[in-house]
Amino acid sequence: MAKTGVKTVKVPLAGNDAAAHAMKQVNPDVVAAYPITPQTELMQAFAQFVADGEVDTELITTESEHSAMSACVGAAAAGARTMTATSANGFALMWEVLYIAASLRLPITMAVVNRALSGPINIHCDHSDSMGARDAGWMQMYAENPQEAYDLWLIAIKAAENHDVLLPAMVMYDGFIISHTMEVVEILPDEAVKEYVGPYKPAYAMLLDEKPFTVGPLDFHDYYFEHKRQEIEGTEHAPAALAEAAAEYAKISGRHYGPLESYRADDADVVMVALGSTAGTARYVVDVLREQGKAAGLMKLRTFRPFPNAEVAGALGNAKCVVVCDRVASFGAFGSPTFMEVRSALYEVPERPLVINYVYGLGGRDTGPDLLEQAFAEGFRVAETGEIKQHVGYLGVR
Amino acid sequence: MQDKILEIRWHGRGGQGVKTAAMLFAEAAFEGGKFIQGFSDYGPERSGAPIQGFTRLSDGPITLHNFITRPDVVVVLDPTLLGNVAVTEGLKPGGKVVVNTAREPAELADTLGVDKEQVFAVDATKISLEVMGRDMPNSPMIGALVKVLGLVELPWVNKTFEKKFGAKSQKVVDANVAAIKRAYDEVRGTAA
């Protein structure tokens, strides 16, 4: 029983099973997917729910991810609540259709089980897949653990379907590290989830509306720009929609999900920024360093798109040094994506902190407390001396 | 500060149920009210290749998300790993090693690079063959670990097997429970 009075149940579940459970409880109209490690078990579990008649979803097993996302676009345009999931190269194969889903304002939701893009070929976790699509027009949220993989997908649906937003949303969780790791997950009752997401009311539905209309026609220099401007406006409405969806979710779950989460950061000299599972490891390290009397803190970034610029500036503005961890390389750029965003967010802070970047964990390279302590140690050196030796470092590379 | 976390690293070969053991032991601890993590290192998935599984137990939430490199306990499902894989690498001082072997624990101390008091042995392969009719050492090794650890209780383990496999086959549950109990009784250290 959650503190909210909703009768919940705690079960040991791997991230993929937790996400599959969310799908089952939502019982979407259409799911179109193609299997890829480490997403496979998620779709396998969901396919089992379909086979067992626990959901009445139309499950379309396509011949590729390009087709999977295309089928999602068709289904969503027709007026169906649509979900899918993928990883890495499958995600890359969806690429052109990701933009189309967003520009057609179709609130498809997708789990991205983060995995390194080839090559060299690798099945393990980094954020090179989803980070590459940060400008595709989708909302993006990173889950720290199986619990968040479950919770955030439900919140994403409600925010995506908000008629002021009408944008697709992806929820990321780290391949293997979360997808295949069993932890205790608190599951809401089916009825509570059904009531939370509510019956699907599409803003426009090709097959349901009485008035026929066209989806995806040519749009040249006459109107393309206006439609993109509207898409941007949808994105601008997303933070409020996410906050509203999260607030309603807190009422039934007791769990509060903002765009970011600060941990012992208010009086910290050095604050680490991390996404996904590493935020959990960083929280452990913060506790260790605090025991040693060091003013360390963490800012976990949950929502990457839309980027919570003002909140980030507010959360980090008092630090002396900010250490941004990125599980992705941005080739040829000055630092990786989170670093660039965070550094930009701090530009107008009166006494802005020094910001350094660590690229870590590529291709699943194990990143434990020792490595994060190294990054913190450099952060404290920068905070004390006021001198950055190297803006972008690499953690745990030989 | 976070609650103390007990870390168990499982070593075996692909096909011996290393991942399953790491998960089942975590689930059993969950039955007893512990916070848990169960996971494994996914390699090239070849049958017979050395693999590792991991279990974390605590009285509070566990937020670490990395491999276990400094285990409190190491469980070795396959004796042919000894001398080939550094199974005790990073083992905490005084940490325990539970090995599936017909040999005496004291004989293994040198190979493992630990004191003989740290070593516990059980012939899980023999138990598995005799009780379950096939070589599946993971279940008896769970029983041995329950005894050595003294933190997770047999009824929790039995309940986990009942929940997981009861719907499929009561025979499978009973055989596993019997193998677990036998290994629990037969595991031996040097101190006892």
Q: Per residue in A151-193, pLDDT tens?
A: 999 999 999 999 999 999 999 999 999 999 999 999 999 999 9
**Model confidence at A1: pLDDT above 60:** no
Of B2, B35, B37, the CB nearest to A284: B2
| pLDDT grade for A371, boundaries at 50, 70 and 90 | very high
The string of pLDDT tens digits covering residues B14-55 is 999 999 999 999 999 999 999 999 999 988 778 899 999 999
pLDDT for residue A4: 80
Mutation for B interface: A125, A173, A181, most B CBs within 10 A: A181
Mark yes or no for CB contact B63/A178 under 8 Å. Answer: no
Q: Is this prediction's pTM over 0.95?
A: yes
| pLDDT grade for A261, boundaries at 50, 70 and 90 | very high
Q: Which domains, and CATH codes, for chain A?
A: 9-198+218-253 (3.40.50.970), 260-394 (3.40.50.920)
What does the domain layout of chain B look like in residue ranges? 5-186
| pLDDT grade for A206, boundaries at 50, 70 and 90 | confident
**Model confidence at B58: pLDDT above 60:** yes
Across the range A255-260, mean pLDDT stands at 98
pLDDT for residue A210: 85
Read off the tokens for A200.
Answer: 């699907």
pLDDT for residue B47: 86
Q: Minimal Cα distance from A291: which residue of B?
A: B1
Nearest CA-CA partner of B11 in B89, B66, B63, B111: B89
| pLDDT grade for B1, boundaries at 50, 70 and 90 | low
| pLDDT grade for A211, boundaries at 50, 70 and 90 | confident
CA distance A48 to A51: 5
Across the range B6-10, mean pLDDT stands at 98
Q: Where are the alpha helices (DSSP H) in chain A?
A: 15-26, 40-51, 65-78, 88-93, 95-103, 128-132, 146-160, 190-197, 224-253, 277-291, 309-316, 337-345, 369-385
Give A76→chain B minimum CA distance, Å: 35
Is A183 at the interface with chain B, CB within 8 A?
A: yes
Chain B residue numbers touching A283 (CB-CB < 8 A):
63
Give B94→chain A minimum CA distance, Å: 21
Is A327 at the interface with chain B, CB within 8 A?
A: no
pLDDT for residue A375: 98
- Contacts of residue B51, defined as CB under 8 A and 6 or more positions apart, other chains included, come to B11, B12, B13, B14, B18, B19, B40, B41, B43
The string of pLDDT tens digits covering residues B75-130 is 999 999 999 999 999 999 999 999 999 999 999 999 999 999 999 999 999 999 99
pLDDT for residue B142: 98
- One of 3.40.920.10, 2.60.40.3500, 3.30.70.260, 2.30.130.10 is the CATH number of B5-186, namely 3.40.920.10
The string of pLDDT tens digits covering residues A77-112 is 999 999 999 999 999 999 999 999 999 999 999 999
The string of pLDDT tens digits covering residues A302-337 is 999 999 999 999 999 999 999 999 999 999 999 999
Interior angle at CA A71, CA A127 and CA A197, nearest 5? 75
Q: How crowded is the C-beta side of A390, counted as CA atoms within 13 Å?
A: 8
Is A177 at the interface with chain B, CB within 8 A?
A: yes
Mark yes or no for CB contact A181/B37 under 8 Å. Answer: yes
The rounded mean pLDDT for chain A is 97
- Contacts of residue A348, defined as CB under 8 A and 6 or more positions apart, other chains included, come to A313
Across the range A18-38, mean pLDDT stands at 98
pLDDT for residue A285: 98
**Model confidence at A2: pLDDT above 90:** no
Q: Minimal Cα distance from B34: which residue of A?
A: A184
